[in-house]
Amino acid sequence: MPTVLVTGASTGIGRATALALAPTHTVLAGVRRLEDAPPGTTPVQLDVTNREQVAALRALPRLDALVNNAGIAVTSPLEHLPLDELRRQLEVNVIGQLAITQAVFAQLRAARGRVVNVSSIGGRMALPLYGPYAASKYALEALSDSLRREQREVKVILIEPGAIATPIWDRGIATADSLWAGMPPDAHARYGALVTGMRAQARKLGTEGVPAETAAALIVRALHARRPRARYVIGREARVQAALARVLPDRALDAVLAAGVRRLLNNH
């Protein structure tokens, strides 16, 4: 059976993908705690920022595909964002993804395998307060495009979900609330309404977003396609955002997003 490494396999898209692949693949489930690995998979203790754990992947005898899914979401008004939080966001979502890819690229090349990088529609359109997260996804898109164009042995595929009903929303809200509590009164006065409205929207998307299994099914399809696309967009809202980002000038897009934010604030 083909061997696939799925990072961030304990919850959300990663877990759903590992479960979907398990019947037909040897799935190496990258998890921070071994007990969190999905049933039917082989647990691999893997924090993408842990150099020793990443380096240990070089000893894998075989690998046919890598699904880079591990990630976090940091949101904040950029004016008051602690720079260490931006560093943490990029360390996990960008540097960690490339570190994993580098560690196993020899095996992937030998197998003429595939790398699937789980990005976001936020890698094409940066929303208010989502600057840190969007920056990490824009960067992941750039790395993926470059890697795809630098070589031909390994196919490189981007998955661009919109809102997916996964625990990343709850964790992101918890992190945002902690950051928000430490910000000065001026930040609360200037951004309070925006933060309240966007937080409520994030909670809604965390329960009403596209099921993680839908994203997993598309990842499986991309792994098996004879000629996979460079990008797959998941969800109706994400497809609309992608179309707007493609056709609208920046100022027009700014106006559309501003109108959406106003509607959101009026509802809260």
The identity of residue 35, as a single letter, is E
Catalytic residue among 130, 133, 138, 232: 133
Task: Quote the Cα angle for 160-137-107, to 5°.
Answer: 80
Phi-psi region of 218 (alpha: psi -120 to 50; beta: other; left: phi over 0): alpha
Cα(12)–Cα(65) distance, integer angstroms: 19
Report the C-alpha dihedral over residues 89, 81, 172, 71, rounded to 10 degrees: -10
Per-residue HEC secondary structure of the chain comes to CCEEEECCCCCHHHHHHHHHHCCCCEEEEEECCHHHCCCCCEEEECCCCCHHHHHHHHHCCCCCEEEECCCCCCCCCHHHCCHHHHHHHHHHHHHHHHHHHHHHHHHHHHHCCEEEEECCHHHCCCCCCCHHHHHHHHHHHHHHHHHHHHCCCCEEEEEEECCEECCHHHHHHHHHHHHHHCCCHHHHHHHHHHHHHHHHHHHHHHHHCEEHHHHHHHHHHHHHCCCCCCEEEECHHHHHHHHHHHHCCHHHHHHHHHHHHHHHHHCC
* 130 flagged as catalytic: no
Which active-site residues does the annotation give? 133
